[in-house]
Amino acid sequence: MKIAIVYNRESKAVINLFGIPNKERYGMSTIRKVKDALFEHDHQVKLFEGDKNIVANLEKFMPRVLSGERPGLVFNLSYGIQGKGRYMHIPAILEMLGIPYVGSGPETHAIALDKVITKMILMQRGIPTPKFTVLETPESPMEENLNYPLIVKPKNEAVSFGLRIVRNQEELLAGVTNIYEEFKSPTLVEEYVDGREINIALLGNNPVEALPPLEMLFENGEHIYTYEDKTNKILPRVKTVCPADLDEELTKKMQEIAVQTFKTLGCFDSARVDFRVDKHGNPFVLEVNSMASLSQNSSFVKAASATGLSYNRLIQRIIEIASQRYFGPSIDGGGLTEEGSHAFSYITQQRDRMEGELRSLTNLYTATEDLVSKQTFIRKLEYRLKKMNLTKDRRRTDDTSHWLFTTEQGFENGVLFVVPIDIPGDRGAYPIPFRIEPEYMYGAGIASSRGGMMVMIKALEALRQAGRLNHQKIGVFVYGDEGNGMRYSGEALRLASKEAGEVIVMAPGYNLNTVVYQRRGAIKIKIVVEGSPMRIGAKNHTANALDYLLKKTADIRALGKDTPLLAISLQNIETSRYGVLIPHRVSATLIIAFMDQEVALRYEKAIRKLFMSKQKGIKTYLEKLEDRPPMTKKKGTTPLLKAFQGIAEQWNLPLRGESTLLPSAAGMVDENTPVLCGLGPSAKHLYTPTESIHRTELVQKTMLLAQYLLTKDEN
């Protein structure tokens, strides 16, 4: 992996030098140690100063496309050149550039560097911290009732700049004056906790690991860890002990508080939380170091060493943690066949191209009722499949609602893919355009259609690259009426699936690292209630349509509420009226989600009976719009799931099966044919204008699918 170490030492390359200069920086010996540690783990490493030239330098060094299996990242050691928000500068630039980096984001650094805001957030979350106040200038009155001795320190500084104990009003004035003149900063004044100084290093994200507590032992002088102590500008008077001599209960309590603090401030990858523990054993959080020092003698490194982590292994561990946050778990292509290696290499080098092609597919909006746009889209897809020698099967194609493409071998007893091209729901006149964020990609239909389609296309291309596509029995069933519940294509899919050996539905998963082995079915019924036009406030004994439907709503809600795996919901209520009259016509859509078809039919009859109106002036009409069977655990589905899980385990990827509420094309598959759903990237906000897919899963699911097809070829 390419890794750029960004730091601040000598360079002052900015447009203007003004404001507060940074006094905090890493020594070159530490920077070289980090570099050597990364070299030891076979990374390609380069050093850069974090100045105005960083954008051009990184653009030349960092890969724009996938190299091997993962893009590069920045190991951020930059404390900034100048200004109050200097910790934020490099992370903010990296986010703008779209370059992954080690450590917390700019918003977290901003909070952690502002000790006052940090303490306010901690207090709001019930995390113990000493009482405090803020003095803007030496003349500012101290309005809080604080007990001496007190601690004074700059509001926005680190490494204990300006830190001192004050015991009376005169010393307080001197301390605030020093901070105001030297740092041009308000002063944080807090009660001094007379006791032990402990800090806890934190490593990881999910979960966050609290390392053993480390204690500062003061041999003489004030029992506070000053800037002079940290920079060895005075004779050594502080020793450290790790693990600290604390009882198990207090250790656990402080580690839990440290983890809570880490999460509360939104830290990533690593940090350090500093405590004071009073004489009664009560811990108080002093501050959070969102960029804990990695120098050889730092508290963080000593705590890691106490767990058995060498310095070089610690640096690599931080890289692994940051990489997993951005890219997901490590994908290990070891143990693949020669063809598998070809497919693996092809896919891992396709990340940027895959996302670019997905952009093109997503920006072709195909609403369910828009026949013209669907025909345009299917022509482009047909051209793409024809390049891989998949041709149209006229027996199973009607060129309106569904199309079937197959390899030269056909798909009998082979694999049948199922993918929709239409985008259900009313997305408005201007669909949301494609966009990319660090973890997710957004766009109209990107989850419901395009993501799974891209996974399938790239998996087939990888097989062709490995020279194995023409040996496969593969069919691709494309349909364009998902928004109509597969009213026209459902029977065609059922018949095609009877010929296939197994069916893979390219719908999205709903949670990360999942595929779907079970889905509920759905019955959709349109209900229309008609009454007579009536004036508001008219006194008569004839019910109006809206009141009638609203009264029935309570009865609908009561239906099936105690029946397992059954849900009944009333949606999309619309009214028609003349002028200011009361609505005379009301329509609604009723959904029955179910796992047992017989139970669902029983409740459908109950609903129809409920709307057999005997009320004067009211007429009701019910029409079944959709009847989508559930996806149950069909014969052979469990072995199919286990086959995918076996491949995922080989690559150290978590993969589990899940059951979901929403129906899919998988329910239309013949009951004797094994089927697996959810092979598309996991989705957020499915069927909404802001639906999205997980970027890492776009690649991971493609790898899983390609390797699975190769194992089919071997068998």
Mark whether 558 and 458 lie in a shared domain: no
Separation CA 319–CA 100 (nearest Å): 11
CATH number for position 117: 3.30.470.20
In angstroms, how far is CA 121 from the centroid of its own chain? Answer: 24
Q: 657 in a domain, yes or no?
A: no
Q: 151 in a domain, yes or no?
A: no
Mark whether 499 and 390 lie in a shared domain: yes
Q: 370 in a domain, yes or no?
A: yes
* Best CA proximity match to 291, nearest among 616, 24, 36: 24
Question: Collapsing DSSP states into helix, strand and coil, what is residue 194?
Answer: coil
Split the chain (715 residues) into runs of 10 and give each run's mean pLDDT: 88 76 84 94 88 87 51 88 85 91 95 92 95 90 88 72 83 88 85 93 94 88 57 64 95 97 96 95 95 93 95 94 80 59 71 86 91 94 95 94 96 97 74 81 94 97 90 95 94 96 94 92 95 78 82 85 87 89 92 93 93 85 94 86 90 85 93 95 89 89 92 67
Looking at 293, 327, 361, the residue that finishes a domain is: 327
Written as one string, the DSSP assignment of 226-238 is: -HHHHTT-S---E
C-beta of residue 529 within 8 angstroms of C-beta of residue 620: yes
Structure tokens at 325: 């946050």
Mark whether 607 and 699 lie in a shared domain: no
Written as one string, the DSSP assignment of 461-484 is: HHHHHTT-GGGS-EEEEEES-GGG
Mark whether 516 and 535 lie in a shared domain: no
Separation CA 593–CA 567 (nearest Å): 5
Mark whether 473 and 351 lie in a shared domain: yes
Q: Which residues pair with 74 in a beta bridge?
A: 4, 101
Separation CA 214–CA 202 (nearest Å): 12
Q: 386 in a domain, yes or no?
A: yes
Separation CA 559–CA 548 (nearest Å): 17
Mark whether 404 and 489 lie in a shared domain: yes
Q: 690 in a domain, yes or no?
A: yes
Instruction: Count CB neighbours of 372 within 10 A.
Output: 8
Structure tokens at 234: 């005075």
Written as one string, the DSSP assignment of 525-585 is: EEEEEE---B-TT---SPPPHHHHHHHHHHHHHHTTTTSTTEEEEEEEEEEE-STTSBPSE
Looking at 574, 597, 628, the residue that finishes a domain is: 628
CATH number for position 527: 3.30.70.360
Please tell me the predicted confidence (pLDDT) of residue 58: 87
In angstroms, how far is CA 412 from the centroid of its own chain? Answer: 39
Q: What domain count does the chain have?
A: 4
Looking at 628, 659, 691, the residue that finishes a domain is: 628
Distances in Å between the alpha carbon of 315 and those of 30, 34, 76, 161, 213? 11, 7, 12, 27, 20
Question: Collapsing DSSP states into helix, strand and coil, what is residue 607?
Answer: helix
Mark whether 318 and 198 lie in a shared domain: yes
Strand pairing category for 2-7 and 44-49: parallel
- Burial code (b: 16+ CB inside 10 Å, e: under 16) for 427-437 equals beeebbebeee
Q: Specify the pTM.
A: 0.60
Q: 333 in a domain, yes or no?
A: no
| Residue 700: its H or E element | helix 695-714
Mark whether 482 and 596 lie in a shared domain: no
Mark whether 418 and 406 lie in a shared domain: yes
Q: 662 in a domain, yes or no?
A: no
In angstroms, how far is CA 623 from the centroid of its own chain? Answer: 40
* Best CA proximity match to 113, nearest among 293, 265, 252, 328: 265
* Residue 99 falls in which region: left (phi positive, over 0), alpha (psi -120 to 50) or beta: beta
Mark whether 463 and 540 lie in a shared domain: no
C-beta of residue 341 within 8 angstroms of C-beta of residue 333: yes
Separation CA 184–CA 329 (nearest Å): 45
Please tell me the predicted confidence (pLDDT) of residue 349: 64
Q: 90 in a domain, yes or no?
A: yes
DSSP assignment, residue 425?
S
Compute and round to an integer the Cα radius of gyration of the chain: 32
Mark whether 266 and 121 lie in a shared domain: yes
Mark whether 377 and 507 lie in a shared domain: yes
Instruction: Mark out the alpha helices in 188-242 (DSSP H runs).
Output: 227-230
CATH number for position 484: 3.40.630.10
Q: What domain range includes position 468? A: 342-520+670-714
